[in-house]
Structure 1
Amino acid sequence: MCGIVGFIGEGNVPRVILDGLAKLEYRGYDSAGLYLLSQQGQGYLFKEKGRIADLEKAVNHTLDSGIGIGHTRWATHGSATRENAHPHQSNSGRYTLVHNGVIENYLDLKTTYLSQVDLKSETDTEIIVALIAHFSEQGLSTKEAFKKVLDLIEGSYAIGLIDQEDPELLYAAKKKSPLLVGVGEGFNVIVSDAMATIELTSKYIEIHDGELLMIRSDQVTIEDSTGKTVQRSAYIADLDASDLDKGTYPHYMLKEMDEQAAVVRKNILSYQSQAGEFEIEAELLAKIHQADRLYILACGTSYHAGLVGKVIIEELAKIPVEVHLSSEFAYHQPLLSQHPFFIFISQSGETADSRQALVKVNELNLPSLTITNVKGSTLSRESDFTLLLNAGPEIAVASTKAYTAQLTVLAILADVLAENHDFSMAHELSMVSQAIERVFAQKEELNSWVQMGLNEVSHAFYVGRYLDYLVAMEAALKLKEISYIHTEAFASGELKHGTIALIEEGTPVIALITDEVTALNTRSNLEEVKARGAKTFVIASDSLAKEGDFTLPQVHPLLTPIVSVVACQLLAYLATVARGLDVDKPRNLAKSVTVE
């Protein structure tokens, strides 16, 4: 969830780290800090509660330094205070450390080794740096002390460590939490996400779990858990620095919604063969065809995409599919079929709950596929196969283009798995991309709904049936997570089985109607809530729309979720803007959930 940027070498160290942290703001944080060390061994620590802008004001930019580490913290152990902000230091000030993740046994370690040590924060992170100092005082070298601590701690971590007595060396290690090494001319960096320093370098080295790194300005040494040196080449990060800029858009979310049509087209081209048919790795297809059931595991928005993907795959490929929340599956595994195949969906490829589930799947030696936006991410590396979303960087916390990309790739996968059907998926997805553009162009019509009172309410409902109900779940999440309007989704037929008791005068009920079979049923359900005072709104496909509805362009019935969700995203965005809230960085939320 948090962000790490470390730098060693030639350059403006505080500027590089602060700019890098700013690019990681999307990950979510409530405090930030920076440590700088000069070549003469003079250290400077700056920490602030609040935004990076507050930290920026506190930092002395004239200080001479050749190494530094910075961090944005999202509170887990201990509240959001300056004392709990990273970096943390040993009592002597010799060691300074930043950490992402959760140390599960930190209380046991504190009792066993640090009962006489005066700790200054409430965090689990301070335990790590205090332990390194403790073992160093017993005669171990910094490297030996760091390695011993890594062997003792349980949980997840991405760590950057500086020893004040060695200003030419930056230490790093990871387990479960993301961390990369960026390789430059005369400098090297460590980052939670390549986008933090993509303007400096496009060359990055993956760090695997359990490895210990010693990084100098001109050298990167990697050792595995046994102390053996590992040789690993850098890869070129497929990022464009211009993708990280809002351009003329007021918010990243609006920019990313506007990019959705292009993302659909990009996936069409990416997965199309020269013959115009969709094509996926033969070995992957063979493994799926050997399965008697597919299991989709995901969290949040990706879980909602999986629910839609289940319908599309079952309808076209006739393969049974189950969809599970990764956080539930990881610890309470359901009864599996004889020949299961697992599909993990994650925008970042670093989702901790999904990674924990994948560990269990790998222990059972079962085949798996990750659908993700990030090449080389943990889930991608540790599963057998990967399909990329080709969505480009998504900065806004509320996912939009990653969700539509997930649905697009799932539809392409279903198309390739299907033995036969009477339409061209490539053509239908092309129609979807055009439909998205038309919906986006109609946003002022949705803004009128907001002005009719949607921005002033505390509660709202989304309803629908079949695929519309599944989209309603994602629509409700979008509205609640950025506008803070408490919003729930229900299968519209379930309203009268209890939920209708919550309808009061003026309660907004937004219906999605794209399914011809159940359209009249949903209309009837709307009449029921309207009779009890609800203010109703309808988003409907062109062939099913009535006067007053927001009309969606007609697309293939199985692909309507990729279009209808765009209207819902826009509605959430417009309601949030009207309420004067931070669209891109909603409170208490992080973009990449890298702790369980």
Structure 2
Amino acid sequence: MCGIVGEVGNDNAVELLIHGLTKLEYRGYDSAGIYVNDEKGNDYLVKTKGRISELEKKIGDDVHGTIGIAHTRWATHGIPSEANAHPHVSEDGRFYLVHNGVITNFKELKEEYLQGVKFVGETDSEVIVQLVGHFAKEGMSTLEAFKKTISVLDDGSTYGILMIDRENPETLYIAKKKSPLLIGVCDGFNVVCSDAMAMLNVTHDFIELHDGEIVELTANEIKIQDANGQPVERKTFHVDEDASASEKGAYEHFMLKEIDEQPAVMHKLVQEYTNEDGSMKIDQDLINAIEDADRLYIVAAGTSYHAGLVGHELFEKFAKIPTEVHVASEFAYNQPLLSKKPFFIFLTQSGETADSHQVLTQVNEAGYPSLTITNVANSTLSREATYTLLLYAGPEIAVASTKAYTAQIAVEALLAKALGVDMGYQEAKDFDVRKELSIVANGMQELVDEKHDIEKLAQKYLAKARNAFYIGRAIDYDTAIEAALKLKEVSYIQTEGFAAGELKHGTIALIEEGTPVISIITDHTIASHTRSNEEEVVARGANVISIVSKDLAKDTDQIVLPTVHPLLTSLVAIIPAQLLAYYASEQRGYDVDKPRNLAKSVTVE
């Protein structure tokens, strides 16, 4: 999602901040901006719609400073534009601010405090800086005005905030709630960033900020106070200097980093495959080739196969094309009877999966058209298929695939939308995929921000478990299969994903006292049936963890999912399952990123 960097005390503020923004480009963004001050009465604000490279072009040789803030924005409130880009400025030109997150009561705050204020843009973020200006005019100090502003943001708001007072350009004011911020400790200066990767060129020592904390940061001092105003002392943590650790940034494991990156991947895919007016950026030749087919055959292995199961729902619902999903290793040697005009879709993270390549070779020999959906451009399956769509998920290092799985589903949704619209189906026209995937991204962010609650569930139910079950119905069953794979491959807990109604046809014999059963419920039409299945396993002594959509949740449900489009629930339901797998593995002392007997790219049949 949006990226933040800031620094105080370094003479090369512009170079340092631009470098930091560049390291955060993977998050996806539509505008960028920078504010620097030389503490001698000169300051500069530069903003632009578009890429960081465009921002660099606008920064003149005279732009310099020793303190500054910079930001990459993904549009939520207000269109991508220079006016809506950060940093934002108070009406009197005194305060400059960047913000990650969402202010849910910004309209109410404008009505209560800011009716006479002239706003430059349409963002919720601008309300924050205007509030600081408002309270400062009432006689409060900068810190008091900043703290007062934070206090009137409602509980549903999220924020990572950096602010500079041009009348006191020696201090960065920082606030954080459910939006990551780190302080980087340097020699003679200090930095702030939303991801350690942005500042690894100047420091490897960081301080993590906690929700509700306020910080006054100068070149030589770090003053942290909690939500009650009490001073906080916190040690730095060190990011190792070896290359692999640098790629992990401040994370202990790639898997957790890649789970956290999924909201940004959703935004990146929207950016790559849709225009601002909602139209699709997918090759018309590909659309025509698929429309000419009488049946789709999705071929994949492992996690990609599970993404294909969700894709089956998307293609049939939005494009109304009959779709089959096949395990690559089975299809290669036991090919089913094909339709007259088949079209093949290969899902693969690496683009090198041997079983899928074997099928593609047969497909090419038969002269059938094909599409590879992959994370790696110019990989074997990408080169040899007729068409390619990229996942734009960034390198996925952990063996257990997380962000590639959700990216595959998102690309399938984008393609299904494009097909359905081109074919004239109303369901596809009504499906605002740009909006819906942005909602998904926000929902994912909510869930990854609650990871420590899920860590506690893993400790309670899975840390010592021998076996476990995931259950669900319809699209939740598709998710359950992938969730079970995640848990078994990194924690070595024998886990199976079952259609909830099938348990009583034999498998319920394996349920005994203390068996973890994780239930996924996101579909209104079958929610009550899955609830009944929960009761059946509870009666046999199972410990049930319920993962439930907000509008179906009960007070006893442990994990509540944000509301998203019914056909995209897999994208949010899988997040807690990934986290449960991660923490179960960590708590058992296993190598999370490199599970035994597994490799990232399976290049043998």
TM bucket (normalised to shorter chain) is 0.5 to 0.7
Look up the equivalent residue of 1:334 and give its one-letter code. P
Matched, 1:444 2:452: yes
Partner residue of 2:375 out of 359, 373, 376:
373
Alignment of 1:351-366 (within 5 A): 351-366=353-368
The separation in 2 between residues aligned to 1:242 and 1:280, in whole angstroms, is 35
Structure 1 residues 501-551: Cα deviation after superposition (integer angstroms, max 9, x where no partner): 000100000000001100000000010110011111100000001113210
Checking the alignment, whether the CA contact within 8 Å between 2:263 and 2:441 is kept in structure 1 is yes
The separation in 2 between residues aligned to 1:377 and 1:465, in whole angstroms, is 35
Checking the alignment, whether the CA contact within 8 Å between 2:272 and 2:281 is kept in structure 1 is no
Q: Which residue number corresponds to residue 392 of structure 1? A: 394
Matched, 1:592 2:601: yes
The separation in 2 between residues aligned to 1:365 and 1:336, in whole angstroms, is 13
Q: CA deviation at 1:443?
A: 1.3
The separation in 1 between residues aligned to 2:579 and 2:245, in whole angstroms, is 21
Instruction: Check 1:364–1:393 CA distance in 2 against 1; reply closer, same or farther (3 A cut).
Output: same
Partner residue of 1:431 out of 439, 451, 458:
439
Matched, 1:493 2:501: yes
Checking the alignment, whether the CA contact within 8 Å between 1:468 and 1:561 is kept in structure 2 is yes
The separation in 1 between residues aligned to 2:449 and 2:528, in whole angstroms, is 28
Matched, 1:510 2:544: no
TM-score w.r.t. length of structure 1: 0.59
Structure 1 residues 481-517: Cα deviation after superposition (integer angstroms, max 9, x where no partner): 0000000010000011001000010000000000110
Instruction: Check 1:355–1:243 CA distance in 2 against 1; reply closer, same or farther (3 A cut).
Output: farther
The separation in 2 between residues aligned to 1:503 and 1:578, in whole angstroms, is 24
Look up the equivalent residue of 1:322 and give its one-letter code. E
Q: Which residue number corresponds to residue 201 of structure 2? A: none
Q: Which residue number corresponds to residue 546 of structure 1? A: 554
Please identify runs of 4+ aligned residues in structure 1 that moved more than 4 A.
Answer: 241-244
The separation in 1 between residues aligned to 2:469 and 2:461, in whole angstroms, is 14
The separation in 2 between residues aligned to 1:474 and 1:453, in whole angstroms, is 19
Q: Matched residue of 1:356: which SS?
A: helix
Structure 1 residues 362-407: Cα deviation after superposition (integer angstroms, max 9, x where no partner): 0100000000000000000000000000001000000000001001
Q: Which residue number corresponds to residue 561 of structure 1? A: 570
Q: Which residue number corresponds to residue 263 of structure 1? A: 265
Matched, 1:536 2:556: no
Alignment of 1:398-417 (within 5 A): 398-417=400-419
The separation in 1 between residues aligned to 2:507 and 2:529, in whole angstroms, is 17
Look up the equivalent residue of 2:433 and give its one-letter code. M
Look up the equivalent residue of 1:265 and give its one-letter code. H
The separation in 2 between residues aligned to 1:260 and 1:511, in whole angstroms, is 22
Checking the alignment, whether the CA contact within 8 Å between 2:354 and 2:603 is kept in structure 1 is yes
Checking the alignment, whether the CA contact within 8 Å between 2:332 and 2:359 is kept in structure 1 is yes
Q: CA deviation at 1:587?
A: 0.5
The separation in 1 between residues aligned to 2:480 and 2:546, in whole angstroms, is 12
The separation in 2 between residues aligned to 1:423 and 1:408, in whole angstroms, is 13
Between the aligned residues of both structures, percent identity stands at 61
Look up the equivalent residue of 2:466 and give its one-letter code. S
Q: Matched residue of 2:326: which SS?
A: strand
The separation in 2 between residues aligned to 1:451 and 1:262, in whole angstroms, is 28
Look up the equivalent residue of 1:526 and give its one-letter code. E
Q: Which residue number corresponds to residue 491 of structure 2? A: 483
Partner residue of 2:589 out of 572, 575, 580:
580
The separation in 1 between residues aligned to 2:451 and 2:382, in whole angstroms, is 36
Unaligned runs of 5+ in 1: 1-240
Q: Which has the higher contact order (CA 8 A, sep 6+)?
A: 1
Alignment of 1:186-197 (within 5 A): none
Q: Matched residue of 2:352: which SS?
A: coil
Q: Matched residue of 1:526: which SS?
A: helix
Look up the equivalent residue of 2:548 and give its one-letter code. A
Structure 1 residues 247-274: Cα deviation after superposition (integer angstroms, max 9, x where no partner): 1011000100000000000000000135
Q: CA deviation at 1:589?
A: 0.4
Q: CA deviation at 1:276?
A: 2.8
Q: CA deviation at 1:243?
A: 10
The separation in 2 between residues aligned to 1:242 and 1:435, in whole angstroms, is 29
Instruction: Check 1:389–1:304 CA distance in 2 against 1; reply closer, same or farther (3 A cut).
Output: same
The separation in 2 between residues aligned to 1:244 and 1:394, in whole angstroms, is 14
The separation in 1 between residues aligned to 2:478 and 2:528, in whole angstroms, is 18
Q: Matched residue of 1:349: which SS?
A: coil
Checking the alignment, whether the CA contact within 8 Å between 1:277 and 1:426 is kept in structure 2 is no
The separation in 2 between residues aligned to 1:465 and 1:528, in whole angstroms, is 15
Q: CA deviation at 1:244?
A: 6.7
The separation in 2 between residues aligned to 1:404 and 1:468, in whole angstroms, is 14
Checking the alignment, whether the CA contact within 8 Å between 2:417 and 2:431 is kept in structure 1 is no
Structure 1 residues 394-444: Cα deviation after superposition (integer angstroms, max 9, x where no partner): 000000000010011000001101133223111000000000000111112
Q: Which residue number corresponds to residue 336 of structure 2? A: 334
Partner residue of 2:293 out of 283, 291, 294:
291
Look up the equivalent residue of 1:293 and give its one-letter code. R
The separation in 2 between residues aligned to 1:288 and 1:467, in whole angstroms, is 24
Instruction: Check 1:427–1:274 CA distance in 2 against 1; reply closer, same or farther (3 A cut).
Output: closer
Q: Which residue number corresponds to residue 343 of structure 1? A: 345
Q: CA deviation at 1:242?
A: 9.2
Partner residue of 2:469 out of 457, 461, 464:
461
Q: Matched residue of 1:371: which SS?
A: strand
Unaligned runs of 5+ in 2: 1-242
Q: Which residue number corresponds to residue 318 of structure 1? A: 320
Structure 1 residues 210-254: Cα deviation after superposition (integer angstroms, max 9, x where no partner): xxxxxxxxxxxxxxxxxxxxxxxxxxxxxxx89971110110001
The separation in 1 between residues aligned to 2:354 and 2:256, in whole angstroms, is 28
Q: CA deviation at 1:354?
A: 0.3
The separation in 2 between residues aligned to 1:483 and 1:567, in whole angstroms, is 15
